[in-house]
Structure 1
Amino acid sequence: MKHAALSVVAGPVGIVAYGLVRLWGRSDDVYGPGLDWQAAHLAGLAGMVFFVPAVVALSRLLPAGRWRTGVVAVTLVGLAATMVQFGADMVEGLLAADRAEMSALSSDFKDIPGVEMAVYDVVPQLFFVGLLVLTGMLAARRRLPWWSVPLLLVGIVLPAVTLDLLAVGGLLMLAALAPALPILPRETVRTEPSVVAG
C-alpha cells in the first residue's frame, strides 16, 4: 500500500518538476528543442503516469458504484490523452532542429482530423474535471477535508492562466490530495477482502 501513497504524491510532484524545469529552460529564452524541453516533458509525463494508480487508489476510498466507475473512467481517458500530448511534444522535440521546425511538426500533427480536439483542446481536460469531481466525492464522504476541493481547483486554474505557474499548481494539487495519504492503507486493506469474497 506504500505504492498507493507514493503515486498520490508523485503525480503532483511530476507537475512541479515539469514547471520548474520549464522555467529553467526558458531562462535563456531558448526553450525547445533540446535537453531542457525533453527533461521538462519527461517529468510531466512521469507525473501523468503516476496519476493513473493515484486516481484508482483514491477512488477505492469511495463505495463501489456507477458514479465512482464513471468518474474514474473519465479521468483516465483524460490522462491517456494528456500522455499522448506529452509524447507527441517529445517526439517533435527530437525530430526538430529548431523551434520553428518543432512548431511546424506540431501544426502538422494537429492538422490530422480529430487530433487537436482529442489530444490538446478537449479530452485532456477530462483529467482535471474528473480529478476535481473525485476530490469532491471524497470530501462529501469526509475522506478529504472540504478545503481540498477549492485548493485543487486553484491548482488546476493557475497553470491555465500561465504555464509559468505550473509548479505552484502542482504544489497546490499535492496539498489538496495529501490529507488522504494516512487513510489509503487502512481503507484499502479493509475493503479488499470483501471484493475478493464478492
Structure 2
Amino acid sequence: MKRAAICVIAGPVGIAAYGLVRLWGKSDEVYGPGFDWQAAHLLGLAGMVFFVPAVLALSRLLPRSPWRSGVVALTLIGLAATMVQFGADIVEGLLAADRAEMSALSADFKDIPGVEVAFYDVVPQLFFLGLVVLAGMLAAKRRLPWWSAPLLLVGIVLPVVTLDLLPIGGLCMLVALAPALPAVAQQSEPTTPPIIVH
C-alpha cells in the first residue's frame, strides 16, 4: 500500500488511539500530568501529522481548481493550529508537577492575546470543516460514497458532545474515508524536481 493510503488510515487511527489512551488514563481518576497524558497527546499529535499527507492525497483525487486549493489551504491551516494545541498540552504536561499546575500553565498560555482564538476556539475548527467539505467534494465527483461526508461529520461532532467518544469518532472518520483508499493507493507518489547543477 502506498504511503499516502497509509496516512489516510493513520490519521483517524491516531485520533481513536488518543481517545482510548485518554480513557485508560482517566480510569484511575488521575489523568495528567504523567505518562498517560503524554502518551495520549503524542498519539493525537501523530494523527494530526498523518492527516497532512492524507489531506493532500485526497485532494489529488479532485481536478485542480481554486475551490480545491482553498479548501486544502484552510484545512492545513486548521491542522497546523491543532498541532500547536497538542504541542502546548504536551509541554504543559512536562513542566507541571500536578493537575492544578498544568491547568495554570494552560491558562497562562491562553491569556496571551490571540492564542485562544488561533489555537483553540476558531482556527483549529477549519481542519474539521475543511475535511468535511473535501469529503463532500469527493462525493460529488463519485470518489467517495454519498454517506462519507455525513459520517465524517458524525465522527467530528461526537467528541464535541464528550471527549470520551473520541475512539468512536476516530472510527467513524476512518470508515468515512476508507472507500477512497484504492484510488489513493493508485496515485503516483509526488516526485522531487531534479537538482540542476550549473
TM-score by length of 1: 0.94
Q: Indicate the residue corresponding to 2:172 in structure 1.
A: 172
Q: Indicate the residue corresponding to 1:69 in structure 2.
A: 69
Q: Indicate the residue corresponding to 1:126 in structure 2.
A: 126
Inter-partner Cα distance in structure 1 for 2:124 and 2:130: 10
Query: CA offset at residue 61 of structure 1?
Result: 0.1
CA deviations on 1:145-195 (whole Å, 9 max, x unpaired) are 000011001000000000000000000000000000011133x33x979xx
Inter-partner Cα distance in structure 2 for 1:39 and 1:192: 32
Q: Indicate the residue corresponding to 1:43 in structure 2.
A: 43
Residues 27-176 of structure 1 aligned to structure 2 (within 5 Å): 27-176=27-176
Structure with higher helix content: 1
Query: CA offset at residue 40 of structure 1?
Result: 0.1
Amino acid at match of 2:179: P
Residues 15-30 of structure 1 aligned to structure 2 (within 5 Å): 15-30=15-30
- 1:150 aligned counterpart, secondary structure: helix
Inter-partner Cα distance in structure 2 for 1:10 and 1:184: 14
CA deviations on 1:13-47 (whole Å, 9 max, x unpaired) are 00010000000000000000000000000000000
Please tell me whether residue 11 in structure 1 is matched to residue 11 in structure 2.
Answer: yes
Amino acid at match of 1:57: A
Query: CA offset at residue 2 of structure 1?
Result: 0.7
Q: Percent identity?
A: 80
Q: Indicate the residue corresponding to 1:196 in structure 2.
A: none
Amino acid at match of 2:184: L
Q: Indicate the residue corresponding to 2:194 in structure 1.
A: none
Amino acid at match of 1:44: G
TM-score by length of 2: 0.94
Inter-partner Cα distance in structure 2 for 1:156 and 1:4: 22
Aligned-residue Cα RMSD (Å) equals: 1.3
Structure 2: runs of 5+ lacking an equivalent: 192-198
Inter-partner Cα distance in structure 2 for 1:159 and 1:185: 29
Inter-partner Cα distance in structure 2 for 1:90 and 1:70: 30
- 2:36 aligned counterpart, secondary structure: helix
What is the total number of aligned residue pairs between the two structures? 191
Structure 1: runs of 5+ lacking an equivalent: 194-198
